[in-house]
Amino acid sequence: MLSRIAGWRCTPVLLPLLVVCGSASTVLWKPTSLVYHILAFLLEIRLVLFILCKQTARKLDSSIETGSSLLPHFTLIISCKDESGIICNTLETLCFEIKYPNDCYRIIVLDDHSTDDSFERAVEWTSRAKLPRPQCLIFKRRKHDTGGGKSGAMNAALREILIELHEDAVCSGGRKLILGFLDADAYSAPELLAVVADCFTKSRVAALQVCKRPILIGALSLLEYCQAADYMADMFLSAQRHLRRAGCACLRGNGMFFDAALLLHPSLAADLRRGMFFNENTTGDDVDMTCRLKIAGLKIHYLDEVVVYEELAPSWRALLIQRARWVYGGYRRYIDFFGSIPRLWWQDPDEMIEFVVLLAPLFFLTQLVLILWFKKGFTELYHCLILVLWDLGLMYRACTDTRMALLGFLFSFHRSLLVLWAIVICIWSPSKPLEYRKTTRRFELEDGATTTCVSCASRPMIRRYEFDQKGASILSVVR
C-alpha cells in the first residue's frame, strides 16, 4: 500500500539503529564530533528564529451571500462510536449555530458498530429536530465492514461520497465540494464554514486544518492545566509553521477539511481504487495523510481564525493512553515513509526539525551512556541543555500565563519517555497498530455541568449544558 508515494519502507530496527550509530560516532570519533557541533549549532539558530518570529494577524472574510449559487458545498463527516452521551449535542451545534446557508452543507454521521444506542439517538434527534436545518444523514457501518477503526469508518463514508461524485449528485454548476471531518465531541465556532469556504475559494488549497482548542469542565485541575498548555504549544507551533511557509501545516484529525477533487488526484488513485483514502493500517491516520499530501507536493493550510473545540482526557491513565497513540503515530510515519523522507524535508523543511526533536531523546540517551561508560567529558550534552531551554522558551511564548508555561514545560518531558517506548513497541510488534481506546469523559458529564472553551483570548466562552435523565441531548444553552 502507498507504494507510489512512500517509496520504500524500512524495517523498524533500521531507523533507531542509524540514530544510535550516529550518536555513538559523535562521542567516539572526533571528526564526526566536530561535524555534529556545527550542525547542532546551525539547528539551534533555526530553532531560536522559529520561536522568535512574530505572528501577524491574518483576516479572512467570514461574510457570505446567502443567495449565491457559487458558495462551496460542505459535507461534514462525523465518525461515531459509543457516543450516545454527546452526539445529539454535536448535531444541535452544527445544525443551528453554524452561520452558513442550510442548503450549502450537510452532515453525515457514520455509526462505527457502537455498543450503545448512539445510532438510535442520532436517528431520533434527526426525526424530531425542527426545520429549517441542513440535511442530516445517519448511517450504520455494514456488519462485515469492521476493520480500520476510525479510518475505516471515514473511508466507508467516503466511498458513498465518491459514488455521488461520479453521479454528480452532490453539487452541480461548478460549485466546489469540501469534505470536513469532525470528532463526535467537536464544538465549532459559528463562522467555521464561512471562513473555511473563503480560504478554499481564494487559495489553491488541497487540505486545511483549523485550530484545535480544549474544552475544560469546571475548575482547572493540574491535569487540565498541563493539557491546556500542551494544546497552546501545538497551536503556537502550527501558527509559526504556517507563518514561515504557507501550505506546510499538519493535519490533526479533528477539524480537517479537504477539497473533494483530492479524491481524484493521481497520487492517491491507487489507494482510492482499494477504497482507502485514509490509511487503515496505521495508528495516526492524520499524520500519515499529512506525509502523503506533502510528498505529493500538495498544500495543507492552517487556520487559527476559527477553532474547533474538543474534550480533554479526564485522568492521567487516559492521558497516557492518548499521548502514547499520538507519539507512536508520529514516530511510525518515519518508518512507513522512510524512502521519501528527503522529499518530505524538501517540501517542508520544518519536518526535518520535527524529526530531529522527536528522536532527540534516543540520541542524547546514547550519548549519556557512552560518556559515563568511557568517562569522557559532557561537552556533547550541551546541546541537550540548549534544547531543553528552547522548550522552556517555546512554552513561555505559547502560554500567556507563567504558571501554565512552567507546568507545560515539565509536562512536555513525558514525550521523551513515550518516544523510547514507541521505538521498543515498533520493533517488538512492527505490523500491529495500537488499539484505539476511548479517553474522554463524555459519559461523566453531570447535570448542569459548566463547560469552558479555553482559548488564548482573555474572556473564554461559557456554555452550560443541561441533560435529560439519560444524558441524551442539550435542553438549553446559556452564553
Give the pLDDT confidence of 397-425 residue by residue, as tens digits.
Answer: 888 778 888 988 999 888 889 888 888 88
- As a whole number of angstroms, the distance between CA 455 and CA 110 comes to 30
Running DSSP on this structure, what letter comes out for residue 216? E
**Per-residue pLDDT at 425:** 85
Q: Which of 51-55, 130-134, 185-189, 306-310 has the lowest mean pLDDT?
A: 51-55
Is there a contact between 182 and 286 (Cβ–Cβ < 8 Å)? Answer: no
**Per-residue pLDDT at 69:** 60
Distance of alpha carbon 477 from the chain centroid: 28
Judge residue 174's burial from the number of C-beta atoms within 10 Å of its C-beta, 0-12 exposed, 13-18 middle, 19 or more buried: exposed
Indicate if the pLDDT at residue 441 is higher than 60. Answer: no
Indicate if the pLDDT at residue 65 is higher than 90. Answer: no
- As a whole number of angstroms, the distance between CA 325 and CA 35 comes to 34
Range list of H helices, 308-349: 316-336, 341-347
How many CB atoms lie under 10 A from the CB of residue 330?
Answer: 21
Is there a contact between 246 and 118 (Cβ–Cβ < 8 Å)? Answer: no
**Per-residue pLDDT at 135:** 85
Q: In 3-state terms, what secondary structure has residue 154?
A: helix
Phi, psi of 188 (to 5 degrees): -115, 160
Domains of the chain: 19-50+349-428 (no CATH), 73-315 (3.90.550.10)
Q: What mean pLDDT is predicted for residues 93-97?
A: 89
How many CB atoms lie under 10 A from the CB of residue 166?
Answer: 9
| Confidence bin at 261 (pLDDT 50/70/90) | confident
Q: What mean pLDDT is predicted for residues 262-277?
A: 65
Helix (H) or strand (E) holding 370: helix 350-374
Residue identified by cell 467555521 is: 192
Give the pLDDT confidence of 312-346 residue by residue, as tens digits.
Answer: 888 888 888 888 888 988 888 888 888 888 888 88
For the whole prediction, is pTM greater than 0.85?
Answer: no
Is there a contact between 408 and 229 (Cβ–Cβ < 8 Å)? Answer: yes
**Per-residue pLDDT at 54:** 65
| Confidence bin at 132 (pLDDT 50/70/90) | confident
